[in-house]
Chain A
Amino acid sequence: MSFRVLDLVKPFEPLVPEVIAPERKVSFNQRVMWTGVTLLIFLVMSEIPLYGINSSDGSDPLIWLRMMLASNRGTLMELGVTPIVTASMVFQLLQGTKMIHVDMNNKQDREQFQNAQKLLAIMLACGQATVYVLTGMYGPPKMLGLGIILLLILQLVFAGIIVILLDELLQKGYGLGSGISLFTATNVCEKIMWKAFAPTTSSAGKGAEFDGAVIALFHLLGSRSDKRRAILEAFYRQNLPNMLQVLATVFMFLTVVYLQGFRVEIPIKSTRQRGPYALYPIRLFYTSNMPIMLQSALSSNIFIASQILFMRWPNNLFVKLLGQWGQKGGSSQLYAVSGLAYYIQPPLSVTEAMLDPIKTLIYIVYVLGTCAVFSTTWIEISGTAPRNIAKQFKDQGLVIAGHRDTSAYRELKKIIPTAAAFGGAAIGALSVASDLLGCLESGTSILMSVTTIYGYYELAVKEGGLSKSIVSGYSDGI
């Protein structure tokens, strides 16, 4: 008997909570219901403020990660899906680099693997909650008092565990798909809807104005006597969301959905059974939203590191080269003003992009390049490289119609890497475009939410939940 790293989790196995898997396939309507209820709980939790926090003003050091991790500042969802994502990333890395050996065909191995993941996620939630509270994110720890500190940590950890369980519930077959992407997409959609329809008002000199772009349009049209000026103001106001941004967002949504449909279809046939050809689609967005997620994770980590270093050593030459930070437009939020971080930070508007064309150029090249590289690397890691697909074909006894058995790999190798690299660059370009157009949310978040919703829609079609497919000629994918 050998002793493996995964065996270390064995003593904790009875303690790890786990949702019972459904005994038979859950019907489509029930799955929609479970998804809805879970989402509702998540949304309510991301609106309720934590008990006992003193202040959550001041610059938010993690603002770049909030969007990706579905977290909301000062609420129960402060941690969002961070623990789950981090734990699974770590384990995927360990498994991908063969540091731990897991036989995915062995049930016991899979169980241990998932238990280890969950344990790490819970531990990460505890650790993160402690760090957040003790570093004074909600006010100095001395002012909070021991009782409140413990209560805060307890709230955060419990919320973290609930999110882990909710995600597991969705994934085990009660829900439609992954909980993580659903939570992230919902968070983005919520922010977009809020910016378009916010009923709150803010007054800056000229009297009270509605924050929501659409509401402001009607209010300005109704209350101002000069209608032309009113429309101009509703479309071009700089301080608050305007109608132009709403239109840009709608336009981006439509463009992304249109581009999602682009695919190369390879006719395949089975060698085991005679029959008609089937089609194997390879999409333009072969790696879906993965490249943009990795790219934005990279950027946000650089931003966070640079910000922390700049706070600590503002006069160091190296730190200055990495990025200098300053406030902008009266708010307490910090933005990079020079250094490396400035060049990879998206321009905030078209005017800003015009004012510093070199920065804009570097930014565009950086985003397109990293997205393409990440996309081509990701197909190797995720097991969707031509080699893997060719092996899958061979195992299932499929050949490309009109070719010999052996040439499947050669054909796939012509298409897949090109699709991955070009698709990565395309999705990067879309992100840059939506940033420059000034969409309501950042380009990355819009792309992520659209691709997630589209994925869910495809899933619903595949599961037979919708009476008929809207996309004509939809054929079953991978």
Chain B
Amino acid sequence: MSSSAVAPGGLRSAAKRKNAASKKNKEAKEQPLSTRAAGAGGSSATMLKLFTDEAQGLRVDPLVVLFLAVGFIFSVIILHVFAKVSGKFFS
């Protein structure tokens, strides 16, 4: 005698299997949540198909991008200032 009360197979597990399969299918076909997926991309909506979904890369928060950009701008400015100052004092 098997210990389980319900026999394996049958209607219920078929439904479960179908649910799981459809969920997996849906996930694979999932469209990105972005402007381009919504059918809009500025004026030339049809022009360039660019990066719009999630990939398993090095994931960056958008705020980090902003800080990176501002940091870069400041570092270049500091280089300029440094060159000016050292040119004034040490030449």
Contact = CB atoms under 8 A, between A and B. Distances in A.
Contacts of B50: 84, 88, 114, 117, 167-168, 171, 178, 180
Contacts, number: 188
B91 interface: no
Interface string A159-170: 100100111110
Given A17-B60, A21-B32, A162 B72 contact: yes
The dominant DSSP class at the B interface is: loop
Contact of A19 (B49, B60, B69, B79): B60
Tier of interface size on chain B:
35 or more
B39 A456 contact: no
The dominant DSSP class at the A interface is: helix
A14 B58 contact: yes
Interface residues of A, number: 80
Given A21-B32, A76-B76, A107-B30, A174 B62 contact: yes
Contacts of B33: 21-22, 24-25, 173
B12 interface: no
A15 B58 CA distance: 6
B69 A18 contact: no
A19 B35 CA distance: 15
Nearest to B68: A162
A290 B41 contact: no
A107 B76 contact: no
Nearest to A112: B55
5 contacts: A41-B69, A89-B48, A114-B52, A287-B46, A478-B45
Interface of B: 27-30, 32-36, 39-62, 65-66, 68-70, 72-73, 76-77, 79-80, 83
Given A172-B34, A180-B48, A182-B42, 19 more contacts: A14-B57, A21-B33, A41-B70, A51-B80, A51-B83, A76-B73, A88-B50, A117-B51, A162-B68, A178-B35, A178-B42, A178-B44, A180-B42, A290-B46, A452-B44, A455-B42, A456-B42, A456-B43, A478-B39
